[in-house]
Amino acid sequence: MNKYPAWLNILVLVIVLAGCLLALPNIYGSVEAVQIADNDGGEYEQAKLNEFVRVVEGAGITPEASYLQDGRVVIRFNSTEDQEAAGERLRGQYSRQANVATTLTPKLPEWVRNLGLSPMSLGLDLRGGVYVLLEVDMDTAIDSRMALYQQDFDDRLRDARIRHRVDLSDQLITIRLTGAEDMLKAREIIERADPDVLVLDGEDGKTLTVRMTETQIKDRQDFAIEQNLTTLRNRVNQLGVAEPLVQRQGVDRIVVQLPGVQDPNQLNKILTATATLEFRLVDQSGDEPGSRRYPGRGAEAPQVLKRQVIASGDQIIDAKAGFSEGQPAVFITLDSAGGERMLQTTMENLNKPMSSVFIETRRETVMRNGVEEQRTIKIEEVINTATIRGVFKNSFQITGLTPIEARDLALLLRAGALAAPVYKIDERTIGPSLGQDNIDRGFNAIKIGFLAVILFMVIYYKAFGLIANVALFSNLVFIVAMLSFLQASLTLPGIAGIVLTVGMAVDANVLIFERIREEITAGASPQNAIHSGYEKALSSITDANITTLIAAVVLFGVGTGPIKGFAITLMLGIITSMFTAIIGTRAVVNLAFGGRKLVSVPV
């Protein structure tokens, strides 16, 4: 009656051992480290690791350990002083080739790393680091799309030999025709270009107005957010920051959390930079429709460039900084569409000049009538003009930059262009000492709650209380194991969720043990009482936990930041507590009392 089959006992044992193994990396703690990532996104090998270690040892610093992780070099140290000194030495020698980030890393033995095990990641409030809140410029996202519409409509109407003029103002395109007889044909051309846009007739019978529908605007805004999320994640990964978090918040904001990072200056520049490139032919005649004058950057001469863009930043799939004939250069690789366009252009325009236009959008604070206002500025400058001497397609190079500009531009282009500018509206740096204080306070709360529950269970339920305490400890191990396996970040609210699950886990055992007492009081035999106690309490335990689980799922779905952290540990705690209370403790009770014909149940 109260005996599990052997396979079920073995399964419980395997789950417990697996939980202990997954939770094991968390006992080793963290240590100061330097993480080195290739500026060009390549993966380092053992020879490069040895080179970095020799540089550090050459400065009189002895690393605690060094190894390769995901193509990056990690060098651990025994003190913050050694970490900072090694970081400065490596930055000074490899600033053009690599990004050197000082951070904290798990102090895992080699055999644990070889098993692919990792500790749970700690949130910003526990580990310390940089928190940046960015706002996406949604108006610019819509403006850029309308500008593409304007150019497309202009080209199509010109190809159809319809005399016209296309103007763009306040996200509204106005198409002026010379006669009413062209209205129908022009409308058909525009609707064929994009059937979703809204086309309205003007009052004079010779004008069409075009605007995006509300659905199109929302889709474009969502695209801008998602594209920026992807681009920002790529940029952070290129920088070599460990365990970054980049996620959407609300309608037009993005949160970037960089645990372990204490110097936000370089990160801020990379995160908010909107630099990209466009390649255009020089209008040597100066009178082609749509041509306009672009200023030169530095010593570069200004140029009148044609309206058509040969290739742009969003068609660049790789960019590497280097040197060409002694000058800093960025080596560009285009995608297939951009490569075909570049091939056609170079074939048709040999010995003609082509310019590289550097485009950057930034926000400045200005005073107007005594009030501070934010103004968006778009800078477009010619950084390089060269004569096309041969036919090329996907690969070429640009010059006219300083070494630092070439490195930063290559990183930005390689990570992808932002679909819309982003601006920093909040920044917080949380020191590691504050994070450690939060950890100490949080784990003290867990210890106090855990010990109080242990004492109560032992005093009130005796031997069964000891079994419940073993299950309670196993529950904590399972929560830590699941957080480590899923690489979910533990936050301060997450610790509150763990404390709550401690009480919920023991509550299930209380229901079972009280049911056993009631059965014994009613005259049932001890074996029947144990069986009935678990069977009859099951529905109550399940109902209570499922309703709480539903609430946790809702919190995770609609919450942000700290609320998500609380919801994650609550969900995991509910799942693990049901296993330990219903299956785990019954396996132990069955092993202890299930084989006895006569037994005194100590509850």
From CA 201, how far away is CA 37, in angstroms rounded? 57
Q: Is residue 267 very low, low, confident or very high in pLDDT (cuts 50, 70, 90)?
A: low
Residue 266 is predicted with a pLDDT of: 57
* Strand (E) or helix (H) holding 35: strand 30-38
9 or 414: which leads in pLDDT: 9
- Amino acid 210: pLDDT: 92
* Three-state SS sequence of 407-418: HHHHHHHHHCCC
Q: Which pLDDT score, from 0 to 100, does residue 416 have?
A: 66
Residue 567 phi, psi dihedral angles, 5° rounding: -65, -40
What is the structure's pLDDT at 415? Answer: 65
Strand, coil or helix: 440: helix
Question: Which residues share a beta bridge with 166?
Answer: 175
Confidence bin at 264 (pLDDT 50/70/90): low
Three-state SS across 202-249? CCCCCEEEEECCHHHHHHHHHHHHHHHHHHHHHHHHHHCCCCCEEEEE
pLDDT value for 276: 77
Q: Which residue, among 477, 466, 545, has the nearest Cα to 505 in the 3D structure?
A: 545
| CA 575 to each of CA 198, 552, 571: distance values in angstroms, whole numbers, following the listed order | 51, 11, 6
Q: Is residue 565 within 8 Å of 493, Cβ to Cβ?
A: yes
- Find, among 556, 448, 554, the residue nearest to 494 by Cα: 556
User: Per the structure block, which two tokens stand in for 292?
Assistant: 């306009």
Do residues 337 and 314 touch, judged by C-beta distance below 8 A?
Answer: no
**pLDDT of res. 304:** 93
Half-sphere exposure for 52 (CA within 13 Å, toward CB) = 32
d(CA 557, CA 481): 23
* Of the candidates 574, 569, 549, 586, the residue with the CA atom closest to the CA atom of residue 468: 586
User: Element (H or E) spanning 3, and its range?
Assistant: none
| Tens digits of residue pLDDT in 302-312 | 999 998 889 88
What confidence tier does 335 reach under pLDDT thresholds 50, 70, 90?
A: confident
Helix (H, G, I), strand (E, B) or coil at 128: coil
Q: Which one-letter DSSP state was computed for residue 24?
A: G
The whole-angstrom separation of Cα 399 and Cα 418 is 23
Tokens of 357: 């236009």
Name 136's Cβ contacts closer than 8 Å, sequence gap at least 6.
Answer: 224, 225, 228, 252, 253, 254, 420, 421, 422
Reference 489, options 151, 194, 255; nearest CA is 255
Say yes or no to pLDDT of 170 above 70: yes
Given a cut of 90, is residue 282 above it in pLDDT? Answer: yes
Provide the token pair at 395: 């690969």
Residues contacting residue 297 through CB under 8 Å, at least 6 positions apart: 358, 381, 382, 383, 400
Under the banding of pLDDT at 50, 70 and 90, the label for residue 183 is confident
Is the CB of residue 63 less than 8 Å from the CB of residue 91? Answer: no
What pLDDT is stored for residue 240 in this prediction? 58
Neighbours of 229 (CB within 10 A): 17
pLDDT of residue 263: 57
pLDDT band at 538 (very low <50, low <70, confident <90, very high): confident
User: What number of H helices and E strands is found in the chain?
Assistant: 16, 21
- Paired with 397 in beta bridges are 331
Percent of the chain with pLDDT over 70: 90
Residue 601 predicted with pLDDT over 60 = no
Domains parsed from the chain with CATH numbers: 6-24+431-593 (1.20.1640.10), 30-107 (3.30.70.260), 139-217 (3.30.1240), 275-402 (3.30.1360)
Which tokens belong to 190? 């525009």
Round the average pLDDT of the chain to a whole number and report it.
82
CA gap 321, 5 in Å, rounded: 65
172/441: higher pLDDT? 172
CA distance linking residue 125 with residue 413, whole number of Å: 32
| CA–CA separation, 356 and 278 (whole Å) | 6
Q: Which of 13, 26, 17, 115 is nearest to 480 (CA)?
A: 26
- Average pLDDT (238-247) is 67
More confident residue, 503 or 216: 216
pLDDT at 598: 46
Which distant-in-sequence residues (6+ apart) come within 8 Å of 563 by Cβ? 493, 555, 556
At 76, phi and psi to the nearest 5? -100, 150
pLDDT tens digits, one per residue of 119-168: 887 777 777 778 888 888 888 888 888 888 888 888 888 888 888 888 88
Contact 412, 277 (CB under 8 A): no
Please tell me the distance from the alpha carbon of residue 38 to that of residue 239, in angstroms, as a whole number: 8
Q: Can you list the positions of beta strands (E) in 216-347?
A: 245-249, 253-259, 276-281, 292-294, 303-305, 311-312, 316-324, 327-334
User: How many whole angstroms from its chain centre is CA 562?
Assistant: 16
214, two tokens: 């509300």
Taking only the tens place, the pLDDT of each residue in 462-476 is 777 788 888 888 888
What is Dmax (Cα atoms) for the chain?
Answer: 107
Q: Which spans in 416-491 are helix H?
A: 432-486
pLDDT above 90 (res 294)? yes
Closest CA to 56 of 96, 25, 88: 88
Q: Which of 108, 177, 178, 170 is nearest to 139 (CA)?
A: 170
Residue 343 pLDDT more than 80?
A: yes
Residues 136, 251 contacting (CB under 8 angstroms): no
pLDDT at 280: 92
Question: Residue 229 pLDDT > 60, yes or no?
Answer: yes
* CA–CA dist 542, 211 (Å, integer): 55
User: 505 and 474 in contact (C-beta within 8 Å)?
Assistant: no
The pair of structure tokens assigned to 459 is 């005093």
Residue 369, helix vs strand vs coil: coil
> Residue written as tokens 């908010």?
272
Structural Rg of the chain based on CA atoms = 32
